[in-house]
Structure 1
Amino acid sequence: MNETIDATDLRILQLLIQDAKRSNKEIGEEVHLTGQAVGARVRKLQDMGVIEGYTVKWNPERIGLGLEAFVTVFLNSGDRHPAFRAFVATREDIVEVHRVSGEGCYLMRVQTGTTEQLGELLEALLPLGNYRVSLSLGVEKSRK
């Protein structure tokens, strides 16, 4: 298999990022390839790990999850990391968790429907450490 990525592969990737539901035929019309050739290139990008999967862009407000917050977590001690990881694994309201350097140990992105639900999450987090919360006022740019 050819393990190089050329400009056409990058254009195909860009088009899929914009709209993952676009057919190979539609992409082929834009990059001047057949749908079959586009499919082969997409499979190559998947095999190389460039394309890891597909996702849905959705509006959490439409299903009652309109409150988004970023929570910086400061664990009480170094031995709390396993307990913290177990805690976040059980929580559907925690969307993303990043291990960070600098201020704090972790940065979480959470989505809840109400401030009360956010408060319940933060209350449950307290035995593990302290936190700082920033509420999202809106997304200015997203690559997803």
Structure 2
Amino acid sequence: MRLNDLDERIVHALAEDARRSYADIGSEVGLSAPAVKRRVDRLRAEGAITGFTVRVDPAAMGWETEGFIEIYCRHNTSPDDIRRGLERYPEVVSASTVTGDADALVQVFASDMRHFERVLERIAGEPFVERTKSVLVLSPLLRRFTSV
């Protein structure tokens, strides 16, 4: 399904702060609170909105080291195999198949450099992994959580 302009504005408002009231969102987009609720209910029913969540600063959890790991897989490794292999690592916050030389790119948060190294070693030891290449984040410059 494709969102119309009004639905997109509602989704962006919810992505910014999902705890906002329907009345508050309605005043921003020019609708009544019941009209916003009906639209949100419809967007949920149609699968455009898949849920509501909390964004937690990883540093608040003691995870202050961030890095990315490029994974180079053995021949004939499917994306499902990669996902299944990575989903048991709580340190992995995102993983995607990518174009280029690597097969997947994995974002990892860890408590410190040693923790990151242990996660990297465990991922490198997965049966589907041929080799890895990693980079550490020095300073995050821009993070957008409200984009769709």
Short-chain TM bin: 0.7 to 0.9
- Describe the shift of the 1:118–1:9 C-alpha distance in structure 2 as closer, same or farther (beyond 3 A): same
* Structure 2 unaligned residues grouped into runs of 5+: none
Give distance in 1, aligned partners of 2:87 and 2:61.
22
Residue in structure 2 matched with residue 66 of structure 1 by the alignment: 64
Larger radius of gyration: 1
1:130 pairs with 2:131: yes
Contact persistence 1:75–1:81 (CA under 8 A): no
TM value normalised by structure 1: 0.85
- Describe the shift of the 1:123–1:7 C-alpha distance in structure 2 as closer, same or farther (beyond 3 A): closer
Contact persistence 2:110–2:116 (CA under 8 A): yes
Report the aligned-residue RMSD: 2.2
Residues 47-86 of structure 1: pairs in structure 2 closer than 5 A: 47-79=45-77, 84-86=82-84
Residues 108-127 of structure 1: pairs in structure 2 closer than 5 A: 108-127=106-125
Q: Which amino acid aligns with 1:139?
A: P
CA-to-partner distance for each residue in 1:99-118, whole Å, 9 max, x for gaps? 11212111000111011111
- Describe the shift of the 1:22–1:79 C-alpha distance in structure 2 as closer, same or farther (beyond 3 A): closer
Give distance in 2, aligned partners of 1:100 and 1:24.
38
Residue in structure 1 matched with residue 103 of structure 2 by the alignment: 105
Give distance in 1, aligned partners of 2:37 and 2:80.
42
Contact persistence 2:86–2:123 (CA under 8 A): no
* Structure 1 unaligned residues grouped into runs of 5+: none
Which of 82, 85, 88 matches 2:86?
Answer: 88
> 1:4 Cα deviation (Å)?
7.2
CA-to-partner distance for each residue in 1:29-73, whole Å, 9 max, x for gaps? 222322111100111222232212122122111221011101001
1:16 pairs with 2:40: no
Identity, % of aligned pairs?
Answer: 27
Which of 13, 32, 35 matches 2:33?
Answer: 35
Task: For residue 78 of structure 1, give the secondary structure of its aligned residue in structure 2.
Answer: coil
Contact persistence 2:67–2:107 (CA under 8 A): yes
Which segments of structure 1 move beyond 3 Å, counting only runs of 4 or more? 3-6, 79-86
1:143 pairs with 2:141: no
TM value normalised by structure 2: 0.83
Residue correspondences, number: 142
